[in-house]
Amino acid sequence: MAKKAPQYKHLPDKKQALKMYHDMLLIRRFEEKAGQLYGMGLIGGFCHLYIGQEAVVVGFTSAQNKDDTVITTYRDHGQMLAVDMDPRGVMAELTGREGGYSHGKGGSMHMFSREKNFYGGHGIVGASVALGTGLAFTHKYNNDGQVNLCYFGDGAAHQGQVYESFNMAALWKLPVVYIIENNGYAMGTSVPRHAAGELYKRGEGYGIPGRVVDGMDVLAVRDAAVEAIEYARKNGPILLEVKTYRYRGHSMSDPAKYRSKEEVDKMREERDPITNYKAWLLENDMAGEKEFDTIEAKVKQTIKETEDFAVESPEPAPAELWTDVLIEAKA
């Protein structure tokens, strides 16, 4: 990253800049710990890690209002941590414990927080787009001035419900930012092999503007997010294709043999979002090594407390099978 970074238009102040570093590091360390716990058999089922993609959600979260709503796919742990959900509750849900956000019944892919305006975590490919469009309709109907940030992947970009949602959002000028997290491989097929045309142009037929963003540069993401969110509040839907990269397989069961170790190592060495952002902070006198040491110690302590809680929290009682199934009608 260039010194003083004149290419960035919406630089954070020092406090926010350090929080962005903290949040990216927290997501990285949380996901690394989740991978360890999965390997130990303490996490079962599907588990999709966000390692490598941290700049995407942290950049967008730095630009949104606290009352804006967020919805995403099953690769959702990063979004939860970025909106300040309790890491202990997130990890306890991964281990299927009572202290988890869904009381141990939702697992990795199904967690929610009304308090933080986070609406999942969804296991169905493309579902976040239809549901996120519904959240945007709620904002429009209530005239509350808020925006929905709707994340989905490059693979989900081909789903039929995505285009039904685009049509509705464009017709009614719904306040939604559609965010394609293009990590290059969907579930295991490279973008050039599974996607015809440019993904950021997928909304053009509906009059939805699109642009490409460097998803490995948190400040570039923030720039694009500030402008896209402002556009959506005033004008309606907009689509961003954020080009990022996942270091791990699609899920914990994916050996990722469709790409070389050299490719992954090259991305880590040259484009790692945390390493490069730390270098930018140092070069531009936004932080020193002492501040980084403090942040890293804080994150390390948070992860230790998170692991302890997730392992020690009791399993849900059998009676929990019958809760959170139906909403009781109010008289």
Check if the beta carbon of residue 125 is closer than 8 Å to that of residue 159.
yes
Is 113's pLDDT higher than 50? Answer: yes
Domains, the chain, in order of start with CATH, read 14-310 (3.40.50.970)
Is 162's pLDDT higher than 80? Answer: yes
Q: Which helix (H) or strand (E) holds 116?
A: none
Mean pLDDT of 213-238: 98
Give the model's pLDDT for residue 30: 98
Distance separating alpha carbons of residues 117 and 115, to the nearest angstrom: 6
Give the model's pLDDT for residue 3: 47
Model confidence band, residue 123 (pLDDT cutoffs 50, 70, 90): very high
Model confidence band, residue 324 (pLDDT cutoffs 50, 70, 90): confident
Is 57's pLDDT higher than 90? Answer: yes
Output phi, psi for 243, to 5 deg: -85, 115
Check if the beta carbon of residue 117 is closer than 8 Å to that of residue 153.
no
Give the model's pLDDT for residue 281: 97
Distance separating alpha carbons of residues 328 and 325, to the nearest angstrom: 9
**Cβ neighbours for 32, distance < 8 A, ≥ 6 positions apart:** 51
Alpha carbon distances (Å) from 320 to 107, 111, 292:
14, 16, 43
Distance separating alpha carbons of residues 205 and 211, to the nearest angstrom: 14
Q: What is the pLDDT of residues 167-216, one digit of tens each?
A: 999 999 999 999 999 999 999 999 999 999 999 999 999 999 999 999 99
Model confidence band, residue 1 (pLDDT cutoffs 50, 70, 90): very low
3-state secondary structure of 212: strand
Mean pLDDT of 284-312: 97
Distance separating alpha carbons of residues 132 and 117, to the nearest angstrom: 12
* Mean pLDDT rounded to a whole number for the chain: 96
Is 327's pLDDT higher than 90? Answer: no
Give the model's pLDDT for residue 234: 98
